[in-house]
Amino acid sequence: MKITERKHQFFIFEIIIFCWFFMVYGQNEIQVEKIAEGFQFLEGPVWKDNGLLFSDIPANTIYRWTPDSMVTEFLTPSGNSNGLALDLEGHLLLAQHGKRQIARLEADGSETPLATHYQDKRLNSPNDIAVKSDGSIFFTDPPYGISQDQEELGFYGIYRLSPSGSLQLLDKTLQRPNGITFSPDEKKLYVSDAEAKRIYVWDVQDDTLIVNKQQFAHMNVIEWGSGSDGMKVDSEGRLFATGPIGVWVYNPDGTPLDTIEVPGQTTNCNWGDTDGHTLYITSGSALFRIRNIYTHIPDEKNGHIKLKPFQFYGNYPNPFNPFTIISYKITRPTLVVLKVYDIIGREMEILVNEFQKAGAYKIKWKTEIFPSGVYLCKIQTVNNSPNSAQAFSETRKLILIK
């Protein structure tokens, strides 16, 4: 038998083993469900009146999806709307590429322009919106959809529109400001820089200023062309950011939790359903959703919610090449063993085998000598304290593509 034939047969065998492993052990993994398709390029999902509204930018239309899988036109023309949000009264706010403005859709179907110019110069192409609890509207203004000759400002800004209608420039240092969202307590503002594939965070000062700019995350994936895009936070402060591969999930401190692969060019996300536990995702020409992404462990003594004492965040990026970062957190000193196996269970490398203090850890796995394929990363902890014999074990899939 030729060597190439053997490699081919072994690759088929790997796929079979992987499918078996997924059927047996992967039922609790995140399930990405496609719920609608056939559009041109989607953006800006927002849940309103028991349905999801979302923009199809080139189609100049806002569509509405309902839980019975009905899709209808909600607004056309939409001004080539991109990001959508709701104000405090439940009115739909639109970031309109075509009209180069932030507008509000009134109950009678008419539009009220809210922000069109800054210092008598026309805005570039408002992209995404975040509404603060005081009624102020924060939005980004990159140049997408317009030519360089149409630009009047000479920069790409982050703005605050006060409840009284005053427009304030907050920052103009990003290459392409895009997605925007607040932390649950509104003390932090996150903005993605699409071209740089980075997310930045500022402190919100006196509800009107943003200060202390810091890099929060870097989606360092060269192989994928798309950059960081729309994002939202959950009630625990975790950031769900769209970008290369799909949805990137981060802890409030910037520690990566997960990378959820979504087909297409993933552009934005938002929470929906009556309980708010479903993440709806726009990606290219299709609409997706993920139900009940993360769970917590209830504290039986006082009813409070707390995170698992050991957290295995998996790896990022995933898929990856030529290396990936594997992250985890331990809340008490313990022996940690971190190993990588191939898909049939052969041990490939021991990354950690030592007693570690409580804290968050990031381990870099270099894969120059390993072939493409599916690998399994397993973490085990053993607590030797006489007051606690808790142990932890979890396995994640790693996908190496060369």
Outline which parts of the chain fall under CATH 2.120.10.30: 33-293
Of 353 and 303, more confident: 353
pLDDT surpasses 80 at 238: yes
* pLDDT tens sequence across 8-41: 554 454 544 444 444 433 434 568 999 999 999 9
Q: How far apart are CA 289 and CA 67, in angstroms?
A: 11
- State the average pLDDT for the chain: 85
**Identity of residue 9:** Q
- Enumerate helices (H) and strands (E) in the chain, giving the number of each: 1, 35
Please tell me the predicted confidence (pLDDT) of residue 318: 81
Outline which parts of the chain fall under CATH 2.60.40.2550: 307-400
Burial zone of 286 (CB within 10 Å; 0-12 exposed, 13-18 middle, 19+ buried) = middle
**Phi and psi torsions of 208, nearest 5°:** -125, -15
Give the dihedral sign, CA 262/193/273/25: positive
H or E element in which residue 65 lies: strand 61-65
From residue 72, give the alpha-carbon distance in Å to each of 61, 66, 195, 274, 344. Answer: 10, 9, 33, 20, 47
Please tell me the predicted confidence (pLDDT) of residue 207: 84
Rounded mean pLDDT, 279-287: 96
* pLDDT tens sequence across 93-136: 999 999 999 999 999 999 999 999 999 999 999 999 999 999 99
Please tell me the predicted confidence (pLDDT) of residue 301: 37
Q: Do residues 401 and 321 touch, judged by C-beta distance below 8 A?
A: yes
Fold held by 33-293: Neuraminidase (2.120.10)
pLDDT surpasses 50 at 224: yes
Q: How many CB atoms lie within 10 A of CB 367?
A: 19
Q: How far apart are CA 189 and CA 212, in angstroms?
A: 11
- The dotted CATH code for 307-400 is 2.60.40.2550
Rounded mean pLDDT, 352-366: 86
The 3-state DSSP class for residue 331 equals coil
Please tell me the predicted confidence (pLDDT) of residue 393: 83
DSSP track, 32-64: -EEEEE--S-EEEEEE-SSSEEEEETTTTEEEE
- Closest by CA to 33, choosing from 285, 278, 230, is 278
Rounded mean pLDDT, 248-252: 89
How much of the chain, in percent, has pLDDT values that exceed 70? Answer: 84
Q: How far apart are CA 390 and CA 387, in angstroms?
A: 9
